[in-house]
Amino acid sequence: MTGAREACGVFGLFAPGEDVARLTFFGLHSLQHRGQEAAGIAVSDGLGLRVHKGLGLVSQVFTESVLQPLTGSAAVGHCRYSTTGSSSLANAQPFYLDTSLGPIAVAHNGNLTNAHLLRRELLERGVGLVSSSDSEVITQLLASPEGGDDFVDRIRSFMARAVGAYSLALLTPGSVYGVRDPWGFRPLCLGRLGDGWIIASESCALASLGAVFEREVEPGEIVQLDRRGLTSHQGRPAQQTSFCMFEFVYFARPDSRLMGRTVHRVRQEMGRLLARQHPARADIVIGVPDSGTPAAMGYAQESGIPLNEGLTKNRYIARTFIQPDQRMRQAGIAMKYNPLLENLRGQRVVVVDDSIVRGNTSRAITRLLRQAGAAEVHFRVSCPPIRHPCFMGIDFPTYEELTANRVTLEELAEALGVDSLGYLSVEGMQEATRRAGFCLACFTGDYPVPVQFGLEKAVFEASPALEAVR
Amino acid sequence: MTGAREACGVFGLFAPGEDVARLTFFGLHSLQHRGQEAAGIAVSDGLGLRVHKGLGLVSQVFTESVLQPLTGSAAVGHCRYSTTGSSSLANAQPFYLDTSLGPIAVAHNGNLTNAHLLRRELLERGVGLVSSSDSEVITQLLASPEGGDDFVDRIRSFMARAVGAYSLALLTPGSVYGVRDPWGFRPLCLGRLGDGWIIASESCALASLGAVFEREVEPGEIVQLDRRGLTSHQGRPAQQTSFCMFEFVYFARPDSRLMGRTVHRVRQEMGRLLARQHPARADIVIGVPDSGTPAAMGYAQESGIPLNEGLTKNRYIARTFIQPDQRMRQAGIAMKYNPLLENLRGQRVVVVDDSIVRGNTSRAITRLLRQAGAAEVHFRVSCPPIRHPCFMGIDFPTYEELTANRVTLEELAEALGVDSLGYLSVEGMQEATRRAGFCLACFTGDYPVPVQFGLEKAVFEASPALEAVR
Amino acid sequence: MTGAREACGVFGLFAPGEDVARLTFFGLHSLQHRGQEAAGIAVSDGLGLRVHKGLGLVSQVFTESVLQPLTGSAAVGHCRYSTTGSSSLANAQPFYLDTSLGPIAVAHNGNLTNAHLLRRELLERGVGLVSSSDSEVITQLLASPEGGDDFVDRIRSFMARAVGAYSLALLTPGSVYGVRDPWGFRPLCLGRLGDGWIIASESCALASLGAVFEREVEPGEIVQLDRRGLTSHQGRPAQQTSFCMFEFVYFARPDSRLMGRTVHRVRQEMGRLLARQHPARADIVIGVPDSGTPAAMGYAQESGIPLNEGLTKNRYIARTFIQPDQRMRQAGIAMKYNPLLENLRGQRVVVVDDSIVRGNTSRAITRLLRQAGAAEVHFRVSCPPIRHPCFMGIDFPTYEELTANRVTLEELAEALGVDSLGYLSVEGMQEATRRAGFCLACFTGDYPVPVQFGLEKAVFEASPALEAVR
Amino acid sequence: MTGAREACGVFGLFAPGEDVARLTFFGLHSLQHRGQEAAGIAVSDGLGLRVHKGLGLVSQVFTESVLQPLTGSAAVGHCRYSTTGSSSLANAQPFYLDTSLGPIAVAHNGNLTNAHLLRRELLERGVGLVSSSDSEVITQLLASPEGGDDFVDRIRSFMARAVGAYSLALLTPGSVYGVRDPWGFRPLCLGRLGDGWIIASESCALASLGAVFEREVEPGEIVQLDRRGLTSHQGRPAQQTSFCMFEFVYFARPDSRLMGRTVHRVRQEMGRLLARQHPARADIVIGVPDSGTPAAMGYAQESGIPLNEGLTKNRYIARTFIQPDQRMRQAGIAMKYNPLLENLRGQRVVVVDDSIVRGNTSRAITRLLRQAGAAEVHFRVSCPPIRHPCFMGIDFPTYEELTANRVTLEELAEALGVDSLGYLSVEGMQEATRRAGFCLACFTGDYPVPVQFGLEKAVFEASPALEAVR
């Protein structure tokens, strides 16, 4: 699967006595799959905040000499999704502001569907904005004294007006706040590290620090972490829970726990149900590495067809901006995947991927398998066709670019050059999670909150007045 | 002279058809003496703005690959003074904001004496601030719709409330605005380049581009440069003109013209008057390179004592952060200045410097001259004793650190180890300019605008919540 | 498996009309697993050579602006293994020298066991050496006119005296030479790209370019690629073939073909034989990602125990030099691997890894599995115990550090904390390849060439007089 | 003067107990005018050597984190002249080699006129060379056991065969050697720092460290600095002394002492004699900053015409690679020099420069002065016409580019657009120094050693097979 980008990972901890910047570094390192474009850490020493952020992987932005002076008792961190070229430091997070209540730093995962309205309102109120990011909009809203005299009131005031997805980690000199929107679109969990507390987008970040998973932050909840420990505030009554199904399908790390389920297990179950819904006569099952592997394993277990590896993925592909030449472009995606010849030659192959967005990768993989001598190619997808854009934080393409909108499944099978094509049903996908309360909008078009078509991409794009700094 | 730092150079031009970013680069390069910490350029292509800024010299921040995409019809630029260590990109300029009237970029030279009040007001109005810079305060004030429906009205509204020094270069998609405070504290001049117009802190920036000097921007004036050419607006009625005398004494480049006078000529004249006020029996006159040279030349001409060079200055001293070891520190300033032995041995020397701030350099120079065999050292200073801090944009030390406040001139002469010490009088300094209307506060303590002691340094210091980005 | 490091990947091509530097870039990118410390490319335009090299991944060393001027008709490239800290640009390759026959650039994979003797001889002959690398020794030997009047003769002369492992890619203005030592220790293969020819350490580099695999370069062979096409010379009669078994076990990419076998398939077969030799009563089989996965798959197939994933590996772990704090160090390797809780809880687990070097990783993995709730842990290793250092290019630790030397297998099992421990036998390992002619020295201590103990590490270490440049 | 480039500054010290790398840093900093392209330092801790070098100014190549680990008891350093673009780290110095006598590092100022022969000989002896630098040739010659069993013998052996200019600073684990060619082409002096000893290209480097000037290293002398203090060896009998006159004219820093004379004083005397040989009726004398200033001062003193400043030079011009646009290019050198209008308007001006190489700068300066309103321009040059290339280390242009070869002085005066033109005579130039024993080849064509025309530039140019590393 390619072509969809998550909008960020957030992390925060209150842990006096610990090396909070270093712990945040490793927390973000575990969340690196949620965003590779930029990373940042803000620390509090109880009096003021310091922020360091930069473009690149967490391990590129932070060196020992950067980390060491970032001492303090609390921190928040952020990593941001990757784009080619249009990246900008002005959009990097955490976003810092001095306010009438003192300084704050905000890390945000998600996307407000009414960001354009809130932005216009701020501009008309005389607040100039330095970036195109809706995270700056959130931070400036929290700076407004109209919201109240403390940050819990201001966060509540913000939540009363914000529509859409937001999991926030917010740092003030004295506290860390974790905030999750009332629909619970994006994940946010809570853990303990000795006497300290941690919030993180995914539980894998807790595990990597030796912290103990406590629970998820509830939709609509504000958790406040400070010298008094954990305090839970109701920020806004929970709405109909609408957790992003795509976290289970693709985004979350397989070892994370969401809604009490290990993500890998759910993906494996999706593969099992896929095998039941779309069986195939074949000799081997392979997954598209790495995201298709768990479902392929489930498909193999359910179908009894042996699992094998059919494609190798170059582990070092990330962040290569060198363009191939014409000859190589014609050779397709060979740079990223290579076939395992002896495993494929003469075989009838079931290939399982987690999703199809534009279809380019699926077509190229099919061609690779054919070139390697596969006798038949049966393409199986462990989620339903993606037909609708996301307004809640995933950078899917527009309607026009979503393959499943343009053609029938039959046409798609033919375009991909496969012998058969099967998608998991919406019901099967839900069944695999053994849970309810999902946002399925990208599959069904039923958006849990009002959205305005035409704005789905805007929030991901650099403003024309982008500020590029170095 | 060391220890005083100018707060920036500004530049702007409206010149469709020209390579505006490149011209701004060379304009800033000519203004580099006004600030070596950071540099930035904003360009407009008529629709939106793009900004690039970074830490270091103009020639370090801008390379061909940075300049080439910055195409457009208008630009503003900024260079910022140098500090050791506490530099921050968050305080670099031009400062960019999207506002209800569209994007603006502001470059500022000067210092508002009521910045702390305006800052507090903004915070209380709910405007969060990302930096400790009063330039951000200015830019956010211009973002307020209460100021009016166009930028000329908003600038007027800002001018009505701002107290202190500000020479601004302001860029919008359609126009460049040059703004000078009603007291005319800081220089700002106007030039023509073909059909285009330029504003710059000093005329040397015009000369370096082959542009023609037109006139100075008047105190209280707003000049608007756009497709209709030059439009002059009255921003606020001019107050009692209070041009910074220290521009003549030290800051401005010798080839710049201020108030119709070539700076070098005025400095030479200061030396002539100094010779009349404080003659000496000596064999040679030397200047402390480079800023003391013009006055030394005038002193020699007036006194008839031959001019010679007595000290060599390392041309590459700038931006070396390597610290000398203990032995070298005891050897004093030898790294920066070296004596010319044959010119000094056995001579009675008049040494002319432009000013004394802390006195450390003067003492070290005197020791160097003695070690080189000078028979007598007569120290002459081409301005009066500096006894008061500046609130209008020069980073003088506090009262305590200003040598002339702590000791009598006799004590100072003894501390420096000189045979005689003479300062130019306030009257002599003014006479040398053949002009009137100066801010002489650092010499006399008469501040043209209300100031609040204790805040003179604040504006130069990083906030505790400094945002460090890369 | 961790703790063993390959000494490099080499690549070369002669292909007039192609963008040879770009093709070499992607070739090296596919060989990146063989060395992540440094990378370099030399190109020939038919008249002279140009070299660019640097520290880091191929994609970090080469950008578009570096690649574009490297035009020519032929190129060689190199990537080098990763160490922490002691890396040096002086040891980076290709190594360039001007000689009496004109310029050459040499890329080397392997290790000469008589390098110290050859080095001493060069020094005594009056040849100064700039690095500690035996690749410089090779290059200077090729510079000696005593070797002959053309490079084929000089290569033959070198081969007559060199003992040990060397797969070379050598560039002159007119030709590319591929050279493989008479024992065939390290891999080197030959491919076609249109009318051009390619040599590469592994066939995966051919596949990624859309080139066609032709054959392996024979032990003792010199292949010359130039305008006349491919010419094969006998460099030195082949000795007893001694191909490095560890390439099959761990180093080579699974999609590469060695001795006609797909590496992945051989590893799977190793797992099958391992299952027969060391069966276990268990509920699931898991591999240590990524190198243990193919053998785990074979083990599962043979044993009938279901395969699953039990550990997640952070994809972004590479090149993080930030050290964990004390608390985290005690938590072991959690940063690199995370357990998949639902897959492990209450299960009897067979965990398959490709090898054990020091044992630290194996112990930490076992602890992780136990913490995740595994009922039993049966550790299986798809190669025999490693008991002897390598002198032919693999950076194994010394005898003292090799776990299998210090303790019995029973003691090791106890130290690791496993319920059972099983290694594949030497015979089983060979059987899995279905080939003969291996160097098995690290398992058996039978070295195919004379070695001098105490020098096994020297060649990997920086000289005391290391030249560090930037 | 522009267009001539010095080939390097060298520095060395033996001073156990001192921070030798830091002292070398500041020594090189004082020699920065001799070379701005690259800098390097090698240190010895008594056992081995470490080298760090890089492209750029000394202060750019060395930071605290680079300097701090470079501990030891002795060091040598080097700075290299600046070129645009073709700079290469492979040519940076000190040049390091491991030899049969252990490691050495060599820093070289000068140029061997038989370098091409020595290079060919090395290549034919089987020594490959990594750079095009004759400094590498020197270092490899010192590596040859044929030269003897210790370094003094090897240096003597080298001196017996080397023709041309070389001032060397050579580091071994136990000693620093200073070597000056038997003609004494390039400067090299000796100083004391406490119990330690220093060698440096110019005495200004001693002064900046608080070291005491002892004497110059004699032509043909080898000084050895080690635990026994200073030992002087005769390397080769001194030849007819041929010190480079251009050091006095332009290269050396004005505060350095050469042959017992302060350079500034000699330049002033050149101006005096120039005034006698080429008087002018004029109102003011100005120098072309900075190199023309001392001679202008002498001219004014002798002629009685008042000295003034007429041109300002941008202090920050160095190392700007941004190219001006077409309009600016037509405006000539305005970027580097600006006229001081009030000092020039209506004046008859004598302008004094130290030399004319290509004539472009002189023509542009004349135009600037005319545009500023100068009534007459009388150009005076404080050395004779430069008519011959240099083979001993100065990068003068070829015969064709040397203006004085192409036209008569009358034609040149017309081409420059001056009212009169006068050069100091060869005799006058020598008289000003009050010394004898100069190389005057660039003025007279009498070369003290055999030279081969056509090779004067070669040594400064990158080889076609240049190794570019980063």
Q: What is the pLDDT of residue D465?
A: 37
pLDDT band at A333 (very low <50, low <70, confident <90, very high): low
Chains that touch C (3 or more CB pairs under 8 A): A, D
Give the integer Cα–Cα distance in Å for C422 and C418: 10
Query: Between C110 and D464, where is the model more confident?
Result: C110
Across B435-459, average pLDDT: 84
DSSP 8-state secondary structure symbol assigned to residue C384: P
Q: What is the pLDDT of residue D464?
A: 35
DSSP 8-state secondary structure symbol assigned to residue D175: -
Q: What is the pLDDT of residue B232?
A: 98
Q: Which residues of D are catalytic, by number?
A: 8
Across C339-358, average pLDDT: 94
Q: What is the pLDDT of residue A274?
A: 98
Residue B85: count other Cβ atoms within 10 Å of its Cβ: 6
Query: Between D221 and B337, where is the model more confident?
Result: D221
Residues of C in contact with A71 (CB under 8 A): none
Residue with tokens 């070291």: D211
Residues 82-141 of D with CB under 8 A from C: 89, 92, 96-100, 103-104, 123-130, 132, 139-140
Q: Give the residue from C100, C119, C131 with the most D CB atoms within 10 Å of its CB, the best one to mutate.
A: C100
Give the integer Cα–Cα distance in Å for C372 and B459: 56
State yes or no: pLDDT of D415 exceeds 60: yes
Q: What is the pLDDT of residue C455?
A: 64
pLDDT band at A466 (very low <50, low <70, confident <90, very high): very low
- Inter-residue contact B29 to B59 (CB < 8 Å): yes
Q: Which two tokens stand for residue D258?
A: 């050469």
DSSP 8-state secondary structure symbol assigned to residue A43: E
Residues 29-48 of C with CB under 8 A from D: 47-48
Burial C418-443 (b: 16+ CB within 10 A, else e): bbbbbbbbbebbbebbebeebbbbbb
Give the integer Cα–Cα distance in Å for B429 and B420: 20
Q: Is C142 in CB contact (< 8 Å) with chain D?
A: yes
Across C414-419, average pLDDT: 95
Give the integer Cα–Cα distance in Å for A184 and A197: 21
Across D73-98, average pLDDT: 79
B208, B265, B331 ranked by CB distance to D334: nearest = B208
pLDDT band at A210 (very low <50, low <70, confident <90, very high): confident
Query: Between D297 and C357, where is the model more confident?
Result: D297
- A442 an active-site residue? no
State yes or no: pLDDT of D84 exceeds 70: no
Q: Which of B27-31, B186-190, B391-395, C368-372 has the lowest mean pLDDT?
A: B391-395
Q: Do A465 and B52 touch (CB under 8 A)?
A: no
pLDDT band at A5 (very low <50, low <70, confident <90, very high): low
Q: In the Cβ-directed half-sphere of D423, how many Cα atoms lie within 13 Å?
A: 19
Tell me phi and psi for residue A156, to 5 degrees: -60, -45
State yes or no: pLDDT of D2 exceeds 70: no
Residues of A in contact with B53 (CB under 8 A): 469-470
Give the integer Cα–Cα distance in Å for D366 and A200: 70
Q: What is the pLDDT of residues A371-386, one digit of tens each?
A: 999 999 999 999 999 9
A50, A104, A129 ranked by CB distance to B468: nearest = A50
Q: Is A325 in CB contact (< 8 Å) with chain C?
A: yes
Distance from CA of B208 to the nearest CA of D (A): 5
Q: Which of C256-265, D77-86, D240-249 has the lowest mean pLDDT?
A: D77-86
Q: What is the pLDDT of residue A343?
A: 94
Q: Which two tokens stand for residue B415?
A: 């501390």
State yes or no: pLDDT of D406 exceeds 90: no
Across A328-340, average pLDDT: 72
% of chain C with per-residue pLDDT over 70: 91
Q: Mean pLDDT across chain A, nearest whole number?
A: 90
pLDDT band at A412 (very low <50, low <70, confident <90, very high): very high
Q: Which two tokens stand for residue D363?
A: 């023509």
pLDDT band at A1 (very low <50, low <70, confident <90, very high): very low
Residues 162-221 of B with CB under 8 A from D: 204, 207-210
Across C359-375, average pLDDT: 92
State yes or no: pLDDT of B7 exceeds 50: yes
Q: Which amino acid is at B68?
A: Q
Q: What is the pLDDT of residue D82?
A: 52
Q: Is D301 in CB contact (< 8 Å) with chain B?
A: yes
Mean pLDDT is highest, among C138-147, D317-326, D447-456, for: C138-147
Give the integer Cα–Cα distance in Å for B54 and B40: 6
Q: Which amino acid is at B143?
A: A
Q: Is C54 in CB contact (< 8 Å) with chain D?
A: yes
Residue with tokens 């000199």: A173
State yes or no: pLDDT of B285 exceeds 80: yes
Least Cα distance to D216 among D251, D194, D185, D253 occurs for D185
Give the integer Cα–Cα distance in Å for C376 and A299: 26
DSSP 8-state secondary structure symbol assigned to residue C217: P
Least Cα distance to A274 among A247, A294, A259, A256 occurs for A294
DSSP 8-state secondary structure symbol assigned to residue D306: P
State yes or no: pLDDT of C331 exceeds 70: no
Q: What is the pLDDT of residue C19?
A: 94
Question: H-helix or E-strand containing D301?
Answer: helix D293-303
Q: What is the pLDDT of residue B316?
A: 73
| Number of CB pairs, chain B paired with chain D, less than 8 A apart | 186
Q: What's chain D's length in residues?
A: 470
Distance from CA of B128 to the nearest CA of D (A): 37
pLDDT band at B314 (very low <50, low <70, confident <90, very high): confident
Q: What is the pLDDT of residues D144-188, one digit of tens each?
A: 999 999 999 999 999 999 999 999 999 999 999 999 999 999 999
Give the integer Cα–Cα distance in Å for D410 and A64: 66
3-state secondary structure of A33: helix
Q: Do A315 and C204 touch (CB under 8 A)?
A: no
Q: What is the pLDDT of residue B458?
A: 45
Q: What is the pLDDT of residues B188-231, one digit of tens each?
A: 999 999 999 999 999 999 988 989 999 999 999 999 999 999 99
Across D299-309, average pLDDT: 95
Q: Mean pLDDT across chain D, nearest whole number?
A: 90
Q: What is the pLDDT of residue B318?
A: 54
3-state secondary structure of C411: helix
Q: What is the pLDDT of residues C140-190, one digit of tens each?
A: 999 999 999 999 999 999 999 999 999 999 999 999 999 999 999 999 999
Q: Do B59 and D18 touch (CB under 8 A)?
A: no
Non-local (6+) Cβ contacts of D329 within 8 A are none
Q: Would you call A42 exposed, middle or buried from its count of C-beta atoms within 10 A (0-12, 13-18, 19+)?
A: buried
- Going from the C-alpha of A387 to that of each of A243, A401, C269, the distances in angstroms are 18, 10, 43
Least Cα distance to A158 among A185, A175, A177, A174 occurs for A177
State yes or no: pLDDT of B83 exceeds 50: no
Across A257-266, average pLDDT: 96
Chains that touch A (3 or more CB pairs under 8 A): B, C
Residues of A in contact with B129 (CB under 8 A): 97-98
% of chain D with per-residue pLDDT over 90: 75
Mean pLDDT is highest, among C227-231, C314-318, D395-399, for: C227-231
CA angle B96, B98, B103 (to 5 degrees): 75
Q: Do D125 and C126 touch (CB under 8 A)?
A: yes
Q: What is the pLDDT of residue B335?
A: 66
Q: Which of A347-356, A417-426, B73-82, C7-16 has the lowest mean pLDDT?
A: B73-82
Distance from CA of B290 to the nearest CA of D (A): 10
State yes or no: pLDDT of D372 exceeds 90: yes
pLDDT band at A464 (very low <50, low <70, confident <90, very high): very low
Q: What is the pLDDT of residues A86-104, one digit of tens each?
A: 447 778 899 999 999 999 9
Query: Between B294 and D132, where is the model more confident?
Result: B294
Q: What is the pLDDT of residue D5?
A: 56
Q: Is B370 in CB contact (< 8 Å) with chain D?
A: no
CA angle C425, C430, C434 (to 5 degrees): 145
Q: Do A322 and C64 touch (CB under 8 A)?
A: yes
Q: What is the pLDDT of residue C314?
A: 82
Tell me the CA end-to-end span of chain C in Å, nearest whole number. 33
Non-local (6+) Cβ contacts of A277 within 8 A are A422, A424, A425, A428
Q: Do B340 and D204 touch (CB under 8 A)?
A: no
pTM, whole model, 2 decimals?
Answer: 0.89
Q: What is the pLDDT of residues A110-137, one digit of tens each?
A: 999 999 999 999 999 999 999 888 889 9
Q: Is D387 in CB contact (< 8 Å) with chain B?
A: no
Q: What is the pLDDT of residue A335?
A: 66
Q: What is the pLDDT of residue C357?
A: 86
**Helix C360-371, helix C409-416: angle, nearest 10:** 50
State yes or no: pLDDT of C321 exceeds 70: no
Give the integer Cα–Cα distance in Å for A11 and A7: 14
pLDDT band at D315 (very low <50, low <70, confident <90, very high): confident
Q: What is the pLDDT of residue D45?
A: 95
Task: Extract long-range pairs of C82-87: CB within 8 Å, 24+ residues apart.
Answer: C82/C5, C82/C35, C82/C36, C82/C37, C82/C319, C83/C5, C83/C37, C83/C460, C84/C321, C86/C461, C86/C462, C86/C466, C87/C37, C87/C38, C87/C55
Q: What is the pLDDT of residue B337?
A: 87
Q: What is the pLDDT of residue A321?
A: 61
- Going from the C-alpha of B470 to that of each of A93, A129, B89, B182, B320, the distances in angstroms are 12, 20, 8, 37, 21
- Inter-residue contact A253 to A34 (CB < 8 Å): no
Q: Do C128 and D146 touch (CB under 8 A)?
A: no
Q: What is the pLDDT of residues B111-170, one digit of tens each?
A: 999 999 999 999 999 999 998 888 899 999 999 999 999 999 999 999 999 999 999 999
